[in-house]
Amino acid sequence: MRTEEHRPVRLSEYRPPDWLVETVDLDFKLHPTQTPVRATLKVKPNPAAGAPAPLVLDGDELSLISVKIDGQLLPTDRFTATPERLTIAQPPNRPFTLEIETLVDPKGNTQLSGLYQSSGNYCTQCEAEGFRRITYYPDRPDVMAVYTTRIEADKAEAPVLLSNGNLKESGDLPGGKHFAVWHDPWPKPAYLFALVGGRLGHIEDKFVTKSGRNVTLRIYVEPGKENRAGYAMDSLKRSMRWDEEAFGREYDLDIFMVVAVSDFNMGAMENKGLNVFNDKYVLATSTTATDSDYVSIEAIIAHEYFHNWTGNRITCRDWFQLCLKEGFTVYRDQEFTSDQRSRVVTRIGDVRALRTHQFVEDAGPLAHPVRPELYREINNFYTTTVYEKGAEVVRMIHTMLGPALFRQGTDLYFERHDGEAATVEQFVICFADASGRDFGQFMRWYSQAGTPEIVATGTYDAGAKTYRLDLAQVTPPTPSQPTKEPMVIPLVTGLIGRDGRDLPLKLDNGTTIDRGLLVLDKPAQSFVFTGINERPALSTNRNFSAPIKLTANLAPDDLRLMAAHDSDPFNRWQAVQTLATQLLVGNVARIRAGQDPEVDEGLLDALAIIMADKKLEPAFVAETLLPPSEADIAREIGRDVDPDAIFRSRAALRALMGLHLNKALSSAYETLANRGPYSPDAVSAGHRTLRNVCLDLLAATQESHAIGLAARQYQQADNMTDRMAALATLSLHDVPERAAALDDFYQRYKDDPLIIDKWFVLQAATPDPKTLDRVKALTSHPAFSMKNPNRVRSLIGAFAQGNQTQFNRPDGQGYEFIADTILTLDPANPQLASRMSTAFKSWRALEAGRRGRAQAALKRIADKSGLSRDVSDIVQRALADT
Ligand code: TRP
Ligand code: ZN
């Protein structure tokens, strides 16, 4: 545990490093509990830093063996070493060689940060501050060095030895040992270092870059699972080609490796030339993975690969700039997915996730800017705000500039900053320089937290044939930001005539609106459109051009017109969502007042029209049939939230859809039946998605025929997508078929942890008062382990983050269980415990009873002594009175 009190780190206190490192030579002798690490650094004073300074190196739980300067053992009175720091008060005021020997314990490293063991294999995780758990080092991203890594190991224990860069040398040694030497010619920060050693199988392929470089591609997996790595390899090759075409970026080493490990705190890590992945995002066959698993694998392979330029070649000056690499790289992987699959369906999925996770984060006590200005624990800032809102900010730059200028801006960025540790300002200035536009006010997207709320009011003047659009914006207060300045909000807008066609947009000052783009940058602004012969429907924020909450004075018939005809397919979907949200929110109030939920014939008609529109792709139709999430409805309501009423409101709508659209749903279910062998492509997946949504809505009526269909689909499915979908539908109903299918599923897949995770998720997410006891019982199941993050997230994470009614049980038992879990996890794996504690991010919006119980659980966590910095940072912020 950390002993020192750490003061927060502030962006305003950034100082360049006093010392730079030119080269790092690492020497590992892998041993399960005692691995000696020798680090030889060529250090030199930083000319940009001024006066001679002490050399202060970071550490974390380190034990030092020796320090040498220029080959001479340093006497103990010349330095001080604690587990957290190595200080040489008076180093030579010139370049010198520093040799440090430490001893680390991979097996005892349960935090999964630094050098650790996973299923007996050695691996590392160094972002953000894990390298300091391997050796003392200036562990900050603006110190970039060239690494050479020699690994020695028992050949039987670790036949495969990998690190960053290219393999220089390898061979056998006496005593059953062997070694490998890797050299990475590209200077990099320590967080991109990686080492892997163990028994691994692999598949191999090759890629020729557009300038003719031959690249060997390898994906390493647990032996015997090689046949599950094919889709990841295919995704990798498509990513490499796409980055050449879309951004002009080529790969820069002779080999690119991906290693799948089963114990991993996050999704994956972009270490230079040696990406390390959670095996969940590598392994897939049609019978082990679902369509959405395939989508995730493709996106995460792309994401980590794209980091090679956005993150590695150009890295971050400091961790406040995290969105520089993450926001941009998420934007890039979203664009990749859009080009590989359906653009609008991808956008809908991304916006749905943004609303359910980021908007909710932004509305609660953990809200923070895309670029925070202060942190206590950087690991707690790998958030949906930094990643997904960060991507939206890049997307807005693209929207405002258009594709050609945007590309000129990124070209300039890559040319200007290659090899550097850059800032967000430097990134944005490239777009300003490429376009001649001013992005000064736009920078507020990086500094102001909270979701801007825009009110759009349209007024039609039949006499003057004008349409006046009044726009107003407000960004609500967030922790430590009570007042906000106006934002720059790009609103792609259309006016739709009654025949469903877009009207030409001409302003009263004579200008035509290019690409429909209106930019709101004041608290309030008006636009008057002329030559409008009938009252139009306002379609704005098309394609979700800004990450805002929009309230427009649209009549229900405007929304139905848009659902049927909007030329912007995103807003066709949005119109249905808006109708559904209005109904759901209204019904929550009715249910709480003891009344019956209302029916909205208009919504059902809109859905019927969409289902009948044969020009629409099935995956899009499926999206229109999915109402907003419970978390999103709760955020929409904002205060005094009753999760049970939200659940009932949503369940009532789903049942109603199943009833009213019964014919269309049944016939879609029949006609979309599987033909031919499984293929993970987007079109085939779209057919399955729609068919399974139809099944789920049919079953939402509780009709026994529909339950029978689900049970039959479960049994007869020849792929995991259809089997899981049927099981998920059954899991929502208290019928004997549910227990039978769950038992069958366990028996079929009990030897496959990643599939059993799906079994955990479904049971934990069941909206049933018996779920909590079931989840508690499953923590003793032989397939469960508190040590494996995937197991913990599947069972306990799915309960806390994915089961609104049961986590928020009125008796508070859900909160108590999660608090207990956090306290159990914290000493072993604070990053995992801390993630779990973000489940409380919306506690303040709850109705009084639940709010009190959630607060009590949070306080119980906060009061525990010896809490990690990770968890204490989250619970302190969650409890703070802003
Ligand atoms: N940089 C990684 C990504 O976005 C994520 C990451 C950050 C990570 N810290 C981590 C992964 C710690 C695993 C463990 O792709
Ligand atoms: Zn990333």
CATH number at residue 860: 1.25.50.10
114 and 229, same domain (yes or no): no
The answer to the question of residue 559 being in a domain is: no
265 in ligand 1 pocket by Cβ < 6 Å?
yes
Q: Does residue 326 line the site of ligand 1, with CB under 6 A?
A: yes
Phi and psi for 174 in degrees, rounded to 5?
Answer: -60, 155
Instruction: Give the residue, by CA position, lying nearest to ligand 1 atom 10.
Output: 127
687 by Cβ neighbours in 10 Å (0-12 / 13-18 / 19+) ranks as buried
- 292 falls within a domain: no
Q: Give the domain range for residue 502.
A: 453-553
Quick one: DSSP state of residue 200? Answer: -
Residues forming beta bridges with residue 233, ordered by sequence position: none
168 lies in some domain = yes
As a whole number of angstroms, the distance between CA 575 and CA 568 comes to 11
Shared-domain flag, residues 351 and 401: yes
| Residue 706 forms part of a structural domain | yes
Q: Is residue 294 part of a domain?
A: no
Give the pLDDT of residue 882: 64
Q: What is the pLDDT of residue 674?
A: 82
Which pLDDT does position 52 carry in this prediction?
A: 85
What does the DSSP 8-state code read for residue 702?
T
| pLDDT, position 3 | 44
Q: What's the CA-to-centroid distance between 390 and ligand 2, angstroms? A: 11
Q: Would the CB of 832 count as within 6 Å of ligand 1? A: no
**Which H or E element spans position 347?**
helix 343-353
pLDDT in tens, 659-714: 999 999 999 999 999 888 999 999 999 999 999 999 999 999 999 999 999 999 99
Domain of 264, CATH number, reads: 3.30.2010.30
Tell me: do 576 and 513 sit in the same domain: no
Our answer on whether the CB atom of 143 is closer than 6 Å to any ligand 1 atom is: no
Question: Are 324 and 427 contacting, i.e. CB atoms less than 8 angstroms apart?
Answer: yes
Ligand nearest to the CA of 191: 1
* Peptide linkage before 472 cis (omega within 30 of 0): no
Query: How far, in Å, from the CA of 186 to the mean position of ligand 2?
Result: 19
Q: What spacing in Å lies between the alpha carbon of 181 and ligand 2's midpoint?
A: 27
CB 643 within 8 A of CB 591: no
* Same structural domain, 437 and 354: yes
**Helices in 56-139 by DSSP H: which ranges?**
none
Is any ligand 1 atom within 6 A of the Cβ of residue 304? Answer: yes
Residues near ion ligand 2 (Cβ under 5 Å):
326, 329
Structural domains of the chain, count = 5
Ligand 1 touching residue 268 (CB < 6 A): yes
Distance 46 CA to ligand 2 centre (A): 29
Same domain flag for 364 and 417: yes
Nearest ligand 1 atom to alpha carbon 267: 11
**Confidence at residue 478, expressed as pLDDT on a 0 to 100 scale:** 98
Ligand 1 center–CA 533 separation, angstroms? 54
| CB distance 299 to ligand 1 below 6 Å | no
Nearest Cα to 793, choosing from 262, 382, 301, 420?
Answer: 262
Q: Which of 432, 447, 462 is the last residue of a domain?
A: 447
Q: What is the 3-state secondary structure (H, E, C) of 779-840?
A: CCCCCCCCCCHHHHHHHHHHHHHHCHHHHCCCCCHHHHHHHHHHHHHCCCCHHHHHHHHHHH
Q: Could you tell me if residue 84 is inside a domain? A: yes
Scanning the structure block, which residue is given the tokens 């004041």?
Answer: 522
Pocket-testing residue among 126, 269, 277, ligand 1, by greatest number of atoms within 8 A of Cβ: 269
633 located within any domain: yes
φ, ψ dihedrals at 483, nearest 5°: -125, 150
Same domain, yes or no, for 693 and 773?
Answer: yes
Which parts of the chain have pLDDT scores under 50? 1-3
The dihedral through the CA atoms of 76, 79, 81, 86 has a sign that is: negative
Q: Is 111 in the pocket of ligand 1 (CB under 6 A)?
A: no
Q: Amino acid letter at 612? A: A
Q: Identify the CA nearest to 432 among candidates 409, 415, 410.
A: 409
Q: Are 108 and 28 in contact (CB under 8 A)?
A: no
Q: For residues 394 and 331, what is the distance between their CA atoms, to the nearest angstrom?
A: 7
What is the CA(130)–ligand 1 centre distance, in A? 11
Ligand 1 within 6 A of CB of 644: no
Q: How far is CA 776 from CA 379, 675, 677, 781, in A?
A: 28, 41, 39, 9
Claim to verify: residue 355 and residue 430 sit in the same structural domain? yes
Ligand of minimum distance to the alpha carbon of 329: 2
Instruction: Return the ligand number nearest the Cα of 267.
Output: 1
CATH label of the domain that carries residue 118 = 2.60.40.1730
Ligand 1 atom 13, closest CA: 266
CB 129 near ligand 1, within 6 Å: no
Question: Does 125 contact ligand 1 (Cβ within 6 A)?
Answer: yes
Going by alpha carbons, the residue nearest to atom 7 of ligand 1 is 127
Closest ligand by atom to 831 CA: 1
For the Cβ of 128 lying below 6 angstroms from any atom of ligand 1, the answer is: yes
Burial 94-132 (b: 16+ CB within 10 A, else e): eebebbbbbebbbeebbbbbbbbbbeebbbbbbbbbbbb
| Helical spans, DSSP H, in 625-735 | 630-637, 643-660, 662-671, 682-700, 704-716, 720-731
Query: Does ligand 1 come within 6 angstroms of the Cβ of 826?
Result: no
Q: Which ligand 1 atom is at minimum distance from the Cα of 300?
A: 15
Residues 170 and 111 in one domain: yes
pLDDT at 6: 78
Q: Are residues 192 and 135 in the same domain?
A: yes
Q: What is the DSSP letter of 672?
A: T
Q: What is the predicted pLDDT for the residue at 210?
A: 98
Locate the ligand 1 atom nearest the alpha carbon of residue 326 and give its number. Answer: 4
* Residue 2 confidence (pLDDT): 45
Q: Give residue 311 CA to ligand 2 midpoint distance, Å.
A: 8
For ligand 1, atom 5, the nearest C-alpha belongs to 269
**Contacts for 301 with CB less than 8 Å, ≥ 6 apart:** 232, 235, 236, 239, 258, 281, 282
Q: Where are the alpha helices (DSSP H) in 506-596?
A: 556-565, 569-592
Q: Which amino acid is at 102?
A: T
Nearest C-alpha to atom 1 of ligand 1 is from which residue? 269
Ligand 1 touching residue 266 (CB < 6 A): yes
Q: Are residues 387 and 398 in the same domain?
A: yes
Catalytic positions are 304
Residue nearest to atom 12 of ligand 1 (CA): 127
Flag whether the pTM goes above 0.85.
yes
Contact by Cβ (8 Å): 508, 530: yes
The residue among 393, 420, 447 that closes a domain is 447
Pocket of ligand 1, candidates 116, 118, 125, 127: which has the most ligand atoms within 8 Å of its Cβ, to mutate? 127
Residue 352 alpha carbon to ligand 2 centre in Å: 20
Whether 435 and 467 map to the same domain: the answer is: no
564 domain residue, yes or no: no
pLDDT at residue 881, as a whole number = 86
Which helix H or strand E contains 836, and what residues bound it? helix 830-837
For residue 114, the CA-to-ligand 1 centroid distance in Å is 13
Of 65, 73, 34, 882, nearest to 480 (Cα)? 882
Out of 277, 301, 334, pick the residue that ends a domain.
277
Taking CA atoms only, the protein residue closest to ligand 1 atom 9 is 127
What residues pair up with 483 in beta bridges, in sequence order?
A: none
- Assess whether 462 and 356 both reside in one domain: no
Distance (Å) from CA 382 to ligand 2 centroid: 9
Beta bridge partners of 125: 114
User: In 46-167, which residue ranges form alpha helices assigned H by DSSP?
Assistant: none
Q: Atom 3 of ligand 1 has which residue's CA nearest to it?
A: 269
